[in-house]
Chain A
Amino acid sequence: MQMILNDSNESQLIAKADGYQNTEKPEQAQQTATESHDSHAAAAVPGDRSDIFLKLLGKLSDHDAFYFGAYKVTDLPKIYIDDGFDFYLNTEQAVASGKYRVEEHHGHSTIVKTSTGHKPAIDLSITNFVLFEWFAIFICAFIFKIVFNKYKKNPDKAPKGLQNAIEATILYIRDEIVRPNIPSRKVADSLLPYFMALFFFILTMNLMGLFPGAHTPTGAIAVTATLAITAFFVINITAMRVSGVGAWFHHLLGGAPWWLAFIMIPIEIIGLLVKPFALTIRLFANMTAGHVILLSLLGVLFFFNSVYLSPAITAFSLFIYALELLVAFIQAYLFTILTSIFVGLALGSHGDHEHAAETAH
């Protein structure tokens, strides 16, 4: 069972399902040799497959090398900052240096310092998710470069194909998401590039996880938290820039009399922090939930160990896959529109006056 679950590739999972009853090939046996014997004993007991779901869930977490599906393409550098800057090309090199060692528990390994037994203070290692995030950046840049060249070549022609799709999306973001929600036209247009980047970057990352073998960077809470922290700074710095720092601090009172400050200021500060927190959890949970459901459906096959279930599981998986496609677009849209609504709320009354003045003439 360990052997089956060490591969995240679905076809391999299915191919090895026959080898479930301890009839594994020699090279696979070697793979499992590192695993403890008691897990094999547990796997031999029919009916005890309770940890199958947890093992599948581990496939969604980050890896320290570049995996495409179950195949390890290359090692990724490890970068630690803990009494000095350490750079290693791979885990073996880090272990060989003697400063770090690999500690195994609950089936997954972590790197700890040899001297203290703790994790390194700052771990800047390039991981699988980071690499897929970079791929998302390159895909975005590549697509926009193509569209940009087309505009340069035929500035007076009607757009078609990819150019048309991108133009329609950009216009939708500008006219339906950013401008209606941010009261001041000037502020809305100055923030437009940020919202464009946000939408296309999140959309690319969401859609990437639907390719077989690829991973979803937005399925990592660190990625969504970074996006939400960026949004937090955009929201508050815009508010400070437009209405002034004094007005921003005055806003913390929430319009209540000064003697209520000791209640209002904590509440308003929580209100400021809960917005990026909700953005983080919403994107992360939505992107992870779809994968968890897919893996649970696949887990059902192994749980019942029956081939007759496969048509039903395939149909359900396809349905969930289509749903995930929808969710990928909806979540990118929601992150963008909620950020723009929060910017609009943070601008408050000041933006309204400007808007009134603008619509007057």
Chain B
Amino acid sequence: MDSTALAFLAAGIGAGITVFGAGMGIGRLASAALEATGRQPEATGDIRTTMIIAAALIEGVAMFAAVICLLLAIK
């Protein structure tokens, strides 16, 4: 394998791991938020806002990784 092939391989594996991690994170977050909404339906609005912010932070980290994978693939 030459270096280009290795870079493509790394980008592909990296994107996969990124999606795995981000999916785990957002999945756990959503399950916790749903549980909290079930326990306390009157706080739905607050919980949703907090959940979206936390999801954005997780997504931000995932996006860093995605950008690195993209750079590996196109450079």
Contacts and interface: CB of A to CB of B under 8 A. Distances in A.
Interface of A: 54, 57, 176, 278, 281-282, 285-286, 289, 292, 330, 333-334, 337-338, 341
Given A54-B74, A57-B74, A334 B63 contact: no
Contact of A334 (B52, B64, B66, B67): B52
Query: How big is chain B's contact interface, by range?
Result: 10 to 19
Given A278-B60, A341-B53, A285 B74 contact: no
Nearest to B70: A292
Contacts of B67: 281, 285
Contact of B66 (A54, A289, A333): A289
30 contacts: A54-B74, A57-B74, A176-B49, A278-B60, A281-B60, A281-B63, A281-B64, A281-B67, A282-B56, A282-B59, A282-B60, A282-B63, A285-B63, A285-B66, A285-B67, A286-B59, A286-B63, A289-B63, A289-B66, A330-B52, A330-B56, A333-B52, A334-B52, A334-B53, A334-B56, A337-B49, A337-B53, A338-B53, A338-B56, A341-B53
Interface string B24-65: 000000000000000000000000010011001001100110
Contacts of A330: 52, 56
Q: Which secondary structure characterizes the binding site on chain A?
A: helix
A176 B49 CA distance: 9
Contacts of A334: 52-53, 56
A83 to B, nearest CB: 31
Contacts of A338: 53, 56
Contacts of A289: 63, 66
Interface of B: 49, 52-53, 56, 59-60, 63-64, 66-67, 70, 74
Contacts of B66: 285, 289
Nearest to B8: A50
A337 B49 CA distance: 10
Most buried by B among A54, A285, A292, A337: A285
Contacts of A285: 63, 66-67
Nearest to A330: B52
Nearest to A334: B56
A181 B63 CA distance: 25
A333 B52 CA distance: 10
A286 B66 CA distance: 10
**Among B53, B60, B70: residue with most chain A CB under 10 A:** B60
Contacts of B74: 54, 57
Contacts of A57: 74
Given A281-B63, A285-B67, A333-B52, 16 more contacts: A54-B74, A278-B60, A281-B60, A281-B64, A282-B56, A286-B59, A289-B63, A289-B66, A292-B70, A330-B56, A334-B52, A334-B53, A337-B49, A337-B53, A338-B56, A341-B53
